[in-house]
């Protein structure tokens, strides 16, 4: 009772009304009164014009299953850099609510402006009309849609820095979508982590990507184990603008690619071997044009999972489930009903299935997966808190990087009430988590532009910088002088020092 008394009166009244309405709408036979639920689920339209510094718009993914998302874009973001993308899955026991529900519209808007980030709130199919695995299929399909249709997001949205977030049932959904994403290949969206990883990988999915004059072969695979860059060219090539852009990115943007960690290889061959394995193993990214060597750029990537009081369970009754405290917002009777309506019929399911009890005896082995760094929020008055703590411990045992934040006096879903100080603090924690992960990434601290986009910016400024070519040339020679290596072709007939070979070709181009 003491914990309940610490909640504002307005919040307790709203919780009571919501609890009464949902109790009446949830029928014992596992069906729902949608009309009654819609009465208490007040909707918010999208805001094409900024509201509280954030604009929003809706995008249809698959009309046949009512799969769509609402994108929130911060407009007060003054930095010229690119923004991370947060894919958000709302809560509601898999049964109710959506991105246009007022609490979740406000939450995602606040999150978008605070980080800042482009937040994509997904509308997935609801139970009991659509049981498992419909929700998980929709969640993953939303990621695939973003990967295949990046034009649906603002130009400054960077899908190579994608985070997944979700609350309650959405936290459960986010976990399983992140797990599946770790096993998949994307074109734009990158799924990587720092949870015990020793490498970063880049795996294009059957396509060719143009990179400021370069091309990425569809079958190319690059793995980065150390921050080094291999720069190669063929004898028949002249130094092109793209070559200098690559080197400029290394030398003139030290926060992007530190010069002391770059290996420059100048290979003079008419038909260079592919992919120069005799010199460097494929543990380094190769940068060249199609005549020099295959391009396999391991662009620094980050992804995080943010689980707000995730909805997990099991056959066992935990200590927190036995206590009545906090049951006004969510009770054990409700959670049992949610799981019954969510689970498929006639397949012998119970609450120890791996999608419900993710840390239980039938839990999936994720120890070999590049599972994202995870942040978990727990409320001390939440009946689900023991399952959330077990999730935290399971991720640690699996060798993943995970943190837990607890709010001792908070009930389930407290983040939906912005007037609570704890709700404001949670937003700050989420923002801090995203930005900390960003800082751990190999991006320019000035504008957070990834390598390929930095090169595009250099290309746009090329004419303005042409007068400084000689100065750049001198700087490049000085920076790369001790690292230049030449492997002359047999029978080439030329006796030229490696430094002079590089110098003569480069100077001829810059002049």
**pLDDT (tens digit, 9 = 90+) per residue, 8-52?**
777 777 777 777 777 788 898 889 999 988 888 899 999 999 999
3-state secondary structure 269-304: CCCCCCCCCCCCCCCCCEECCCCCCCCECCCCCECE
Peptide linkage before 116 cis (omega within 30 of 0) = yes
Chain centroid to Cα 3, Å, comes to 36
String of DSSP letters for 188-236: S------SS---EEE---S--EEETTEEE-TT--EEESSS--EE---TT
Q: What domains appear along the chain, each with residue ranges and CATH number? A: 2-194+302-439 (3.40.50.1820), 200-299+461-510 (no CATH)
pLDDT value at position 10?
Answer: 72
- Range of lowest pLDDT (172-186, 191-205, 246-260, 427-441): 191-205
Q: At residue 363, does pLDDT exceed 60?
A: yes
Task: Tell me the backbone φ, ψ of residue 25, rounded to 5 degrees.
Answer: -80, -25
Mean pLDDT in the chain? 71
In which band, very low, low, confident or very high, does the pLDDT at 171 lie, cut at 50, 70 and 90? very high
In which band, very low, low, confident or very high, does the pLDDT at 61 lie, cut at 50, 70 and 90? very high
String of DSSP letters for 478-490: HHHGGG-EE-PPT
pLDDT value at position 198?
Answer: 25
pLDDT value at position 188?
Answer: 59
String of DSSP letters for 438-484: HHTSSS-TTT---HHHHHHHHHHTHHHHGGGHHHHHHHHHHHHGGG-
**Tokens 């200590």, residue?**
319
Residue 235 has which token pair?
């004898």
pLDDT value at position 78?
Answer: 61
- Range of lowest pLDDT (172-176, 256-260, 275-279, 442-446): 275-279
In which band, very low, low, confident or very high, does the pLDDT at 217 lie, cut at 50, 70 and 90? very low
Cα distances (angstroms) measured from residue 377 to each of 251, 346, 393, 454: 42, 34, 13, 36
Span 255-281, average pLDDT: 31
Residue 237 has which token pair?
């090539």
Q: Which residues are catalytic?
A: 168, 382, 412
In this predicted model, which residue has the larger pLDDT, 205 or 149?
A: 149
Residue 488 has which token pair?
């002359």
- Range of lowest pLDDT (1-10, 139-148, 290-299, 363-372): 290-299
Residue 270 contacts residue 234 (beta carbons within 8 Å): yes
In this predicted model, which residue has the larger pLDDT, 320 or 11?
A: 320
Closest CA relative to residue 431, chosen from 165, 102, 130: 165
Rounded to an integer, what distance in angstroms lies between the CA atom of residue 308 and that of residue 157?
24
């Amino acid at each position: 009772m003491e914990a309940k008394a610490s909640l504002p009166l307005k919040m307790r009244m709203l919780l009571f009304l919501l609890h009464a309405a949902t109790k009446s709408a949830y029928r014992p036979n596992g069906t729902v009164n949608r009309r009654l639920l819609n009465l208490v689920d007040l909707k918010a339209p999208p805001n094409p014009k900024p509201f509280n510094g954030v604009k929003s718009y809706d995008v249809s993914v698959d009309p046949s299953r009512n799969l769509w998302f609402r994108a929130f874009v911060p407009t007060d973001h003054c930095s010229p850099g690119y923004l991370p993308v947060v894919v958000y899955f709302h809560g509601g026991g898999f049964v109710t609510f959506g991105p246009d529900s007022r609490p979740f519209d406000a939450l995602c808007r606040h999150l978008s402006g605070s980080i800042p980030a482009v937040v994509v709130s997904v509308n997935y199919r609801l139970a009991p009309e659509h049981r498992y695995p419909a929700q998980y299929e929709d969640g993953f399909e939303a990621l695939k849609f973003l990967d295949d249709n990046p034009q649906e997001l603002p130009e400054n949205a960077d899908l190579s820095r994608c985070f997944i977030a979700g609350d309650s049932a959405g936290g459960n959904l986010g976990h399983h979508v992140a797990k599946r994403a770790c096993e998949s290949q994307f074109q734009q969206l990158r799924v990587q982590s720092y949870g015990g990883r020793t490498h970063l990988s880049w795996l294009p999915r059957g396509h060719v990507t143009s990179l400021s004059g370069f091309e990425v072969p569809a079958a190319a695979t690059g793995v980065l184990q150390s921050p080094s860059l291999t720069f190669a060219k063929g004898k028949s090539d002249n130094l092109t603008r793209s070559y200098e852009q690559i080197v400029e990115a290394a030398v003139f943007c030290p926060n992007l690619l530190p010069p002391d960690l770059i290996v420059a290889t100048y290979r003079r061959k008419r038909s260079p071997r592919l992919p120069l394995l005799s010199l460097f193993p494929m543990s380094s990214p190769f940068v060249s044009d199609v005549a020099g060597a295959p391009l396999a750029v391991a662009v620094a990537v980050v992804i995080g999972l943010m689980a707000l009081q995730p909805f997990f369970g099991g056959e066992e009754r935990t200590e927190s489930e036995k206590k009545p405290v906090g049951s006004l917002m969510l009770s054990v009777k409700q959670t049992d009903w949610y799981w019954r309506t969510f689970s498929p019929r006639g397949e012998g399911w119970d609450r120890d299935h791996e999608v419900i009890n993710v840390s239980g005896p039938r839990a999936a082995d994720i120890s070999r997966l590049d599972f994202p760094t995870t942040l978990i929020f727990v409320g001390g008055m939440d009946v689900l808190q023991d399952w959330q703590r077990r999730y935290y411990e399971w991720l640690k045992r699996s060798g993943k990087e995970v943190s837990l934040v607890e709010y001792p006096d908070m009930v389930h879903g407290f983040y939906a009430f912005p007037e609570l100080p704890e709700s404001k603090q949670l937003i700050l924690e989420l923002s801090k988590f995203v930005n900390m992960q960003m800082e751990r990434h190999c991006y320019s601290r000035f504008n957070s532009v990834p390598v390929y986009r930095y090169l595009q910016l250099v290309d746009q400024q090329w004419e303005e910088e042409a007068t400084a070519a000689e100065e750049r040339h001198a700087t490049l020679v000085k920076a790369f002088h001790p690292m230049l290596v030449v492997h002359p072709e047999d029978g080439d007939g030329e006796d030229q020092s490696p430094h002079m070979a590089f110098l003569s070709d480069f100077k001829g181009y810059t002049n």
